[in-house]
Structure 1
Amino acid sequence: MTTPQGFHHIEINVHDLEKSRFFYDWLMPELGYSLFQQWDKGFSYKNGTAYLVFTQTEEPYKEIPFHRKRSGLNHLAFWAKSRAHIEHLRVQLKKKNISFLYEDRFPFAGGDNHYALFFEDPDRIKIEIVASR
């Protein structure tokens, strides 16, 4: 038996579980993730052996909001199926009134050979979607 490689799971505390659920319920299936677990204070999505968990921030810790420039998580990056997939996601995100980061440099904000789309989730966690071709 071989041991799986890569990360097992990542857990993210969110300020408003309902808003985050609404946001990720659409996005994660678009990226090949399936709903894995759900309970009153959280939910998770799985792709292969790895999963991403979202849990409600406890009340005493909600006062200071997340900011990617502080120590800790900076952003999450996911693979797109193709450049056309990124274009599809971009249209869908615009319909949902989700603004983009670095829109003036789309699709090469990450460099000349890095085709990607950048935006933020409800807690302002930066999301990057990257196409390999």
Structure 2
Amino acid sequence: MTKGLLHHVEIYVSDLKKSTDFWGWFLGELGYSAFQKWDGGQSWKLEDTYIVFVQTEERFLDIPYHRCRVGLNHLAFHVDSRQHVDEMTKTLNNKGINILYKDKHPARGEDYYALYFEDPDRIKVELVAP
């Protein structure tokens, strides 16, 4: 049954090349496959859900994204293990990707182990392990 599950998420980005380089390897790590590609965008799919990245028109680039404004704050993804979170942390560090809240990394709770980082447009991304 798919009722209530997300069908897709579409995100406009400032630099499609940078975003698809970032999201392509990251989503691949989570099991997504390339799905659609056209001059102004690209998507990746996992089962019945896909994520789309579209190049923002130049006339709209003067207002940069900020996750604390009205709109999307972050995307959070499940992973299978705390080890996967730790491996992704190393990979992100090696790629020079900004890890957020380093003083509290990894975020921990009784049933929570998470990593927070930013994509090229500074959209916060979260990985959550049980």
Q: TM (normalized to structure 2)? A: 0.94
What amino acid is aligned across from residue 113 of structure 2 in structure 1?
Y
Distance (whole Å) between structure 2 residues aligned to residue 122 and residue 131 of structure 1:
23
C-alpha separation between the residues in 2 aligned to 1:4 and 1:36? 22
Shift of 1:3: 4.9
Give a deviation string over 1:17-41, Cα, whole Å, max 9, x none.
Answer: 0100111111001011111111110
Corresponding pairs, count: 129
Does the CA contact (< 8 Å) of 1:115 and 1:130 recur in 2?
yes
Name the amino acid aligned to 1:131.
Answer: A
How far 1:48 sits from its partner (Å)?
0.9
Q: Aligned residues: percent identity?
A: 52
Aligned counterparts of 2:48 and 2:118: Cα–Cα separation in 1: 25
CA-atom RMSD in angstroms: 1.2
Matched, 1:112 2:109: yes
1:118–1:129: 8 Å Cα contact kept in structure 2? Answer: yes
Match of 2:123 in 1: 125
Aligned to 1:98: 97
Unaligned runs of 5+ in 2: none
1:16 maps to what in 2?
15
Deviations 1:65-119, CA, capped at 9 Å, x for gaps: 00000000000000112111111111111110112101111112xx523200000
Paired with 1:112 and 1:88, the residues of 2 have a C-alpha distance of: 19
Structure 1 residue ranges without an equivalent (≥5): none
More moved, 111-120 vs 15-24: 111-120
Using the size of structure 1 for normalisation, the TM-score is 0.92
Write the letter of the residue equivalent to 1:122: P
